[in-house]
Amino acid sequence: RDRSPSRGLGDVYKRQLVSKTDNEDGTHTFHWRENFPMVSYLISFAVGEYVQIDDKYKLLKPGKRILELGSYPGGWSQVINERVFLKNRNSRTSVLAIDIKKMDSVGSIFFMEVSFLSKRFNNILNQTYKENFDLILSDMAPNTMGHKQTDHLRIITLCEQVLDFSAKKLNKKGSLILKFFRGAEDKDMISLAMSIFLSAKQYKPKASNSDSSEMYLICSCLLYTSPSPRDGLLSRMPSS
């Protein structure tokens, strides 16, 4: 039962309205039916965005090897758990989630507290996760410094590093979902994505704040195994 208005995160999850009751105090009670198993809480408000992305591109499927970069607080993990593990009990899906912030475990997803850019993470991949991934999800963003231009360059540079990494660690037909923020430098990053992937599409979910510059880049099918060397954006950052 739900005393909230009929629009909201329920629309994101595509739940069905079964009945509506008018109460004596002027409120209304809504009875909903969910289309798939889900927990009764949201780990992150970004879950709505992730659900809309998967509804459109349908990249979360059983049997895939998935890597989450910047997984805290666990939004993507929750969506994967509900849409893959809970719907497919015998799924051979493998999910590794990493972040520099400790995250509570979600279902069958394995979490490691490690930096994406660290030698330790590289060693973990080389020793334990030798096979390439089918899907990489990146929700990372560096800490802001308070200088708008510098902060944007840092974000785009991190996105470029994820693209370089994905070119090496994705399967030929693999996919990448990369969150970025629009700004003066995003054209270079998008051009890099288009040089690596057969398809690189920009997408802004309806659940995303319309006032935010937040966007997602949905990339699929590698053109070749790794991008050609290029100068990073950090070389163009203003000195402090």
Q: Which of 58, 87, 169, 179 is catalytic?
A: 179
Residue 26 CA to chain centroid, in angstroms? 40
Listed as own residue / partner, the contacts of 148-152 with beta carbons closer than 8 Å and 24 or more positions apart are 149/184, 149/237, 149/238, 150/237, 150/238, 150/240, 152/181, 152/183, 152/184, 152/185
Output the CA–CA distances (angstroms, integers) from residue 29 to 4, 35, 38, in the order listed.
8, 19, 21
DSSP conformation class of 220: E
Q: How far apart are CA 232 and CA 240, in angstroms?
A: 18
- The reply to whether 179 belongs to the active site is yes
Q: Are 158 and 142 in contact (CB under 8 A)?
A: yes
Supply the DSSP symbol for 186: H
Question: In 5-160, at which residue ranges do the beta strands (DSSP E only) sit?
Answer: 16-22, 28-33, 65-69, 94-99, 110-113, 133-138
Helix ranges restricted to H, 106-147 = 119-127
The residues annotated with a catalytic role in the active site are 179
